[in-house]
Each structure stands twice: as C-alpha cells, then as structure tokens.
Structure 1
Amino acid sequence: MNAILNTTGQVPARTLAQMRLVASKADLKPALMEAFAEGAAARGLTAVQAQAAIAGVIFMATNPLARNVDDATLIKLTDEFLAKVKGDTTGTKVETPVEPTALAGEVLMAYLAAEDAKQPVPRNHTAHVGQSWDSPAAMAHKIADARAAAIAPMMGLKHEPTVGRELGPNTLDHARQWAKQSGAQMRSEADMMEAFVTGRVTGKIAYMSGSHTTSDFPTIAGGSVQILIGRALEQTPVGLALCASKITASDWRARKMPNASAASSLTKVGEAGEVKFRTIDTSGEAVPAPDRYAGAFRATEELLTNAAAGGYDLEIAIAKALLDAAQESQRSVLAAAITGNAAMADGNLMFSSQHANIAGAASAITVTSLGAARTAMQRFIDSRKAARPVTPYIILVPPEKQTEAEQIIAQITATKSSDANPFAGNLQVVSDPGLAGTATYHWYVLPNPATTDGLALITMEGMDSPQVEARDAWPDFGMTWRVQWPLAAAFIRSSWYRTQGA
C-alpha cells in the first residue's frame, strides 16, 4: 500500500475516523465498510476523495454478477480496487479517482473471469430447463417483439406482442432495458441510445459487464424484422401462395408422399370373412427437397446513426426490402411448379389428357368454360380408376384477365334461368404476375388448398417464413443483414384443371 502512517507506523486515528464516517453513509455490510475505511485511510484519501471512491465499492457489492461472491472475497476485491486509486508516495497529494465504477468493474470482472476459468460451468450461469426469461438473449427477444408491435401498423400489418407486451414502443425505453440487462452505466441518455443502436460503446459507457462488449441491437433488429416479414406473408400473401398447401420438411432430403398400395375403398365382409389389409407406403408423389434461397443487404452507417435518434426507419426499410425479396422468391418457386408441368408418379404430365385435367380447346373465361372445368373436376379418378371428385374453389388467372374473371364470377340478378350464374359467390378469383399474360396464357380452376391436396409449398421445419439475421458490418461500416428461406414446390395430386386462354 501507499500508506500514510504516523510516526508509530499506524494510520492516524483522525483520518481513520473520517473514512469510517464516509463508509457509514453507504448501505454496506459492517465488515466491508470497515475494510474500505481502513484501506482508504491507509492510502491517505481525503473525505471528498473517499466519497468518490465509495461508489466503486457499492458497485461491486450490489452488482448482480457478484451475487455469489462471499464477504471475504469482496473485502479482498475492495483492497485491490483501492490500490488502483492512484496517489503519490509522499502522502502530500492524492488524485481524485476517475470513473470509480469502471475501476471497480475491472477488478470484479478480472476475478470472475479467473474463477470461471477454473470451472466447467461459469459461476454466474444458472442452469435452466428451456428458455430463461431473465437472460440477455430473452431480453433481446422481448425488445424485438415490442418493436415489431410498434412498427407493424406503419406497414399496414397487425402484430400482438407476447413476451414483449410489458415493454413500450419507445426506443429509449428499449435502450434502458438493454443497459439494465447488460450492466452498463451511461453518461447520458443520448450516449445510451447511440451505444444501444450503433454498438459504439467506447467513451459512451462508464462500465459494461464482461458478458456484453457491444450492443444487442443487431439481434433485436433482426428479430423484429423477422416477425414483421412473417406477419406480412400471412396477412398480405402473394396470389400463388393462396393456391398452395404447405408441407414442412424435417431435413434436406427429397421424399415421397405416403400412398395406399391398393384401392382404398371398403369391401363387404361376410360373417366368416376376412378383412383385407392395404399397405400404406412411400410410393406416392415426389416431394422435392427445399432449395436454400438467400440474400444479403447492408445498411449504411448513416442510416444506423439516424436510427439512434429513436425512429424505426432502419427496420422498416430493411423489412420492406427483405419482404420484397422473399415474396419474389416464393412466387418464382410456385410459378415454376405450375408452368413447368412436371411428370407425376404415374409417368404422365401433371396437366395432361391422361389425368383428364386439361381443356381440349382454348377458351375464354365464360360460364360455359367454367362449367366444363367443374364437370371434369367432378369426374377426376385416381390411378386405380376410383372416383376422386373435387369441388372448384379458386379460379387462378394472370393479372390481365382478373377483371374479366371477376365479371364472370360477380353476383347477377337473372330474369330467366339461362341468365343465372351458377358460379356467383362460389368461386374466388386469384391473380398473380407469376403467370404469363400473353396470347397463349393459361387459366386454372382448383379446389380449396386447405382441404384438398394439389400444389404444395415445401419449407423447412421452423422456417415457415424467412429467417433474418443481422450483425455489425465488417470491414465496412454499418450493419449487414442476411435472409434465408428454404423453399420448393410441387404438385402432390392432379386436382387442378387447366384451360388455354382464347
């Protein structure tokens, strides 16, 4: 120690009394207060200097990371902390401590890091079954949920927050929650906002725990944007997505749909008869493995800095860009399956005379051509010649024919039976630019995809909507975003009917 002793080698009683008076005003345990008083007196701190230094001891004693540190160790750490408070060896001058909580934080984190290195499980980690909602990752998830709820109305969407419902929509409140969770002490609210959004913590934070060296904003922003894209795909889907059912793949392998090995109709069994078994196997239609569709974007440092002012421009801009990319990928995958007309398990093309699901001649969209489509769909049979009728539900057309189709489907008041429109109110019109609108366009009649198999969109388990990730840009400045969405599409039943336009 750089002790200032009297001629007997002892700390002057007057100095020790002053230090005890300073320590007594802090809410500390008696043993810790005495250790501070003796250490401060031995180093010749004045009352004013001791009042500044006591903040560091309070920081260590009340820090959540030190909840498992015993009293004896805290006394030892207090002495190490006071050793960092510089003074000259003559006892004539002692400099006022600079940022006492930062100095105390260095001592505390050095000790915890050394202790963690001795143990297979870090001393400050608590074992949990499932998600701990007190963890930093959970707080990031809560803030992302709250921010998505605030942004959704700005994009014409709805999102009811769940885990983030107790947090407000204010970015400053989110920054405060982050600072509290990460153990950061800020010099001002403006510094806190900048550190929260940009991750620039140097000179902005008086102290930050060792488990957080930068902001969690990339994780938070990525989470909120992912929620927004998922809501947009649900609430404002592309036209072709309305025509497809969903299959969730558990891995990246192609597979086949389950299929009965023989006719599935029930047979009459006499009193002494024997029930015949059918085997359900994987001889059905092929389900392709999803392909990974991905893209990357970079937000400039200027956009990131502007976000520190508290707005949502950054997340809105990124969400719209990623949503456009995701919808275009989804549309192209579904359109390729429709127009590609691949062969089915029986070796025949999806739209073919063998499946009786293609019009014999080109036709405009009329009540007569719709009637022919409905009759054909009611006469559908499977590969075993068993009846598999389906009910028309959607008429799918290119945008150029949407008005024409809606006029045909519109409710009319007939004055005679020949004028009645049997399809009014019974068919929905869906249009999508993924379908060609040339003179040789096709239009389709299909059943309800929610109840009847037909076109299927294949996604990976846990990725019904795109997965969004964000991180600080390197070596460039700003923030980089990556989106991925494994997708594939295929017909798993020949339940659609196709007509060439005229």
Structure 2
Amino acid sequence: MLDKHTTGAAQPTARHLAQMRLAASKAGLPPDQADLMAAHGVSLAAADATAQGLAQVAQMAAPFLHSGRLDAAAMLRISKHALRAGSGIEDPAQIAQAIAKAAGEEAAAIMAANEPNGRTAAPDLARGTASMVSARAGGSPSLADCMADGLLARMMAGHVPTHGREFAQMRLEDLARFESGASRRGARQFMSGLHVSDDFPIALGIASNQLLLNAYVASEGQLKRASREVTASDFRPINTVQVSNGMGLDKVNEAGEFTRGTIAEAGEAFAVETYGKVFALTRQAFVNDDLGVLSNAARLQGTGAALTEAKLFASLLEKNAGLGPTMQDGKTLFHADHGNLAAIGAAPNVTSLTVARTALRRQKGLSGEAIQVQPAFLIVPPELETAAQQLVAAITAASVDQVNPFSEKLEVLVDANLTNAKRWYLSAAPGVPDGMLHAYLDGAKGPQIFTREGFDVDSMEFKVRLDFGCGFADHRAWFMNPGE
C-alpha cells in the first residue's frame, strides 16, 4: 500500500521519513531500512507490519550472510523485492507474511545463480522464513566453501579449519585440480596449461575476500565513528533531509480548538564514487605454492580501502581552507552565521571546550526551536591527542573548583589524516542530529573483491572495488575551533 505523501520514484517527505524511521526503530531495524521503506512509498498504516516483515527477513538471512552465501548487495536486492511484494496488500496482517515469502524466493534465486555450473541452492529456501532457517541447520557447505576454509588455514594466522580440514595441507596445484566425485564437471584450462576445477577460483575469491575484509575492519579510521551510514541505490546525488525537531504546543482554549503548525524541511546532497585496484597471483607463485603473495596483497588492499575512506572523511572536513564543504545556503560548513565556528582560536581546554559545547547546545532547528544537541566526540589530530585525553580523563577532585566537567563525558577520536596540527572539532553522535553521513552502493559495505583468469599475462587477477561517498547533511551537529 503506497503512501499518498510519496511514491517509489519521488523523494520522500521529511514527515514520511520520520514515520518510517519510528516503525523501523520499533522493529529493531537500522535507519537504512527505514529509508528504503520511505523510498518505496510504504504507507503509515502498513509501516509497522512492513518493518516486522523486514525484521524477519534480516533474522532469516543472518546465517547466510555469515557464511558468505549472501552479501550486503544481495540483501538490499532481497529487501527491495520483498517490499514490492508487500506494497499491493491492504491488510496489514498479511504484509509481513508476504514480505518474508518473497524474500525467501529471491534469496533462493540469488544463491542458486551464484552456485557454480548447475548446482542449486536448497529448493525449500523459496518456501519462506521457516524453510530458510531449517535449511541452515541441515545444509552443507559447497566444495568452494570447503576449499576456502582450507586455504584460510594457511593464509590467516589462528584460523582453525572446520569443514575444509582435508584441504588445509594441500598444495595450490593439487587443490586446483581437485574435484569431488559428487560434483565432477570436468577440468578447464587455467594459467596457460594448468587444468583446474571450476570451484578453485571461487575458493580463492572467498578466502582472499575474508582477508581483505578483516584488514579493512582492523584499519577503519576513527572519523567514521562520527558519521552515520546511509544507503545509495546508484551514483546519483543522495539528497539528505533536514527536519525541524517540531513545534512547541499551544494551549487549547475552552472551545477545544487546536492551532495548526508546519514542519520545516531542508537538505544537502553528496554522491558515491568508485575507487579500486587490481593485483594478481602469478603462474610462478601458483606453481611455487606461494600463498603469501596473495594473502599479503589482500591485506594491503583491505588496509588501503580503509585508508581511502579515512582520507575522504578528513578531506571533507578540511575543504575550503579548513572551513568545510559549501552548504546549500552558500556558506561553508563551519561559519560564524552557523554558530559553529570559534571566534577566537584556542587549544582544547576546559574554557574553550565549554564555548564549543555551549555553541552546540544553543543550535536552533529550522523553525527556530532549541534542538538540544548533545556533544559526543572530541576530534583531534595526533598532536592534540594527549591534551584531549587529559581533558576527558576521570580524575577524583579534592575540591569543587578542581572538578573536571568533561570527565568521561566525551570520547576522543584521533585521525592522522587531519593535516592541521592545531584545529579540533566537537560533534554530536551520528544521527542526533544528522551531521556527517557516508554511503556505500546498494549497501555493500566496504571493499569487494572480484577474480578472473589473466589473459595478457599468466595470472589470476583480483580486482578490489570500493563504492563510497561522504558528505554533510547539516551544520548543527559539528563545531570547529581553529586552534591557537
């Protein structure tokens, strides 16, 4: 059932988006699922049932996400398909069931398409949530999954193989030629003369992707913690929404007449862009059984993806000589008219931090209302790290005048990509209100790895791709002091 305030092709209104986020929050869904509901025109009457259906989808998909049979991009596709299935139903009682059923069918189709040459996912996956959960308990990993598990025992310190123990001690050349009797499909040419099973390149991709993501997560920059993640369905600008926090309530007179008010809206925009690199496992490394080349390359690319994100976050803050990006009103993010720029530069101390906190607390919404911004992060370059940590440390005071008002009230975030050694920031937690935002294409968080056989040279090529963008939705959640 579509809402009259929006359609699947139109930008949802601020009110409708807020309604969807409330329903999603009650069902335990993240904000990006609420945004998806709003974009698909879910009505207020259907919001709770739709959110419950999506929550069931997330629960049923969890084991398949963990095993790697589904990824974030597939989950976004599944959610969109499920929302379309529920949109034509008027009875809220039937919406959740329809969404779960459609999600199961789409998940089964995706996994069947991803299985190598003729293998199919368990057929009962299409029967909905219950079937998918039972399939998890009784299903078995594919040959490629088992090979990847064995490869990881050699590539990742501390990994203990489970379903791939028999492959953990095999050389690459022997592993490549292995075919189980149950899935023999004939070998194919690989790296100019080596005959391998169709499962081996898939296993290499699974194992290297695990190393890539582990290195990526371990290297994520701290600035990202001050940003809220949203979803981008394509490379067009993402239109963010700023919403007034509401209006004060007027006293109702004896006649019981209520006055009318409005909710103000505004917005900024940013877009996702693509970053990437290709590396290769050469035929010589393959014959020499040198997995170190592949594992090191995967780790380096994972770290590189995290560093790319960190640099983009820092460069966003440092645009326009450190005043941040230009906002929709034609002024920089940090501007005296925005009330978020220190009039006098100073190092972080009790006095300067008090000024910053007061400025955030005094921020007004679009209708001029007090929005009660709660500072959460003190963001500094490495040169100010010690001073910042001392400023928020827990200290037992001997007298009232020695009490530290910021003791354990703020979390210090340090980023070496911030080039100015004196400039520091104070920000609210992500989303309260929205300040810095970041997005991945179709919800595919972090870098992705793709494999193919080389043609110009004898190698297996690995392409790492990151679709990422960041921007600011509003100036009210951040304050900057240029330092002394």
TM over 0.5: yes
- Counterpart in the other structure of 2:280: 298
- Which of 325, 348, 357 aligns to 2:340? It is 357
Tell me the secondary structure at the aligned position of residue 487 of structure 1: strand
1:424 CA drift (Å): 1.9
1:407 CA drift (Å): 2.2
Change (3 A) 1:315 1:255: same
- Counterpart in the other structure of 1:455: 436
- Counterpart in the other structure of 2:260: 276
* Greater Cα shift, 264-273 or 414-423: 264-273
Letter in 2 for 1:303: A
Tell me the secondary structure at the aligned position of residue 336 of structure 2: coil
- Which of 438, 445, 448 aligns to 1:464? It is 445
Q: Is the 8 A contact 2:423 2:481 kept in 1?
A: yes
Letter in 1 for 2:462: W
- Counterpart in the other structure of 1:331: 310
TM-score by length of 1: 0.60
Q: Is the 8 A contact 2:144 2:203 kept in 1?
A: yes
- Counterpart in the other structure of 1:321: 300
- Corresponding residue pairs, total: 348
Letter in 2 for 1:379: R
- Counterpart in the other structure of 1:171: 168
Matched, 1:489 2:470: yes
- Counterpart in the other structure of 1:480: 461
Change (3 A) 1:294 1:474: same
1:394 CA drift (Å): 1.2
Change (3 A) 1:470 1:305: same
Larger Rg: 1
1:290 CA drift (Å): 0.3
Deviation per residue, 1:374-425 (Å, 9 max, x gap):
1111111123211122222111111122122212222223222222212122
- Distance in structure 1 (CA, Å) of the matches to 2:405 and 2:204: 51
1:287 CA drift (Å): 2.8
- Counterpart in the other structure of 2:12: none
1:468 CA drift (Å): 0.6
Gaps of 5+ in 2: 1-116, 127-131
Q: Is the 8 A contact 1:256 1:284 kept in 2?
A: no
- Counterpart in the other structure of 1:140: 144
Change (3 A) 1:146 1:373: farther
Q: 1:202-217 to 2 correspondence within 5 Å?
A: 214-217=197-200
- Distance in structure 2 (CA, Å) of the matches to 1:418 and 1:165: 60
- Distance in structure 2 (CA, Å) of the matches to 1:124 and 1:306: 32
- Distance in structure 2 (CA, Å) of the matches to 1:264 and 1:306: 71
- Distance in structure 2 (CA, Å) of the matches to 1:330 and 1:214: 37
- Distance in structure 1 (CA, Å) of the matches to 2:358 and 2:415: 25
- Distance in structure 1 (CA, Å) of the matches to 2:280 and 2:424: 40
- Distance in structure 2 (CA, Å) of the matches to 1:135 and 1:177: 25
1:169 CA drift (Å): 8.1
Gaps of 5+ in 1: 1-122, 186-194, 205-212
- Counterpart in the other structure of 1:500: 482
Matched, 1:220 2:203: yes
1:176 CA drift (Å): 9.1
Q: Is the 8 A contact 2:243 2:366 kept in 1?
A: no
- Distance in structure 2 (CA, Å) of the matches to 1:177 and 1:166: 19
Change (3 A) 1:137 1:468: farther
TM-score by length of 2: 0.62
Pairwise CA RMSD? 3.8
- Counterpart in the other structure of 1:410: 393
- Which of 233, 237, 241 aligns to 1:254? It is 237
Tell me the secondary structure at the aligned position of residue 435 of structure 1: coil
* Greater Cα shift, 457-466 or 411-420: 411-420
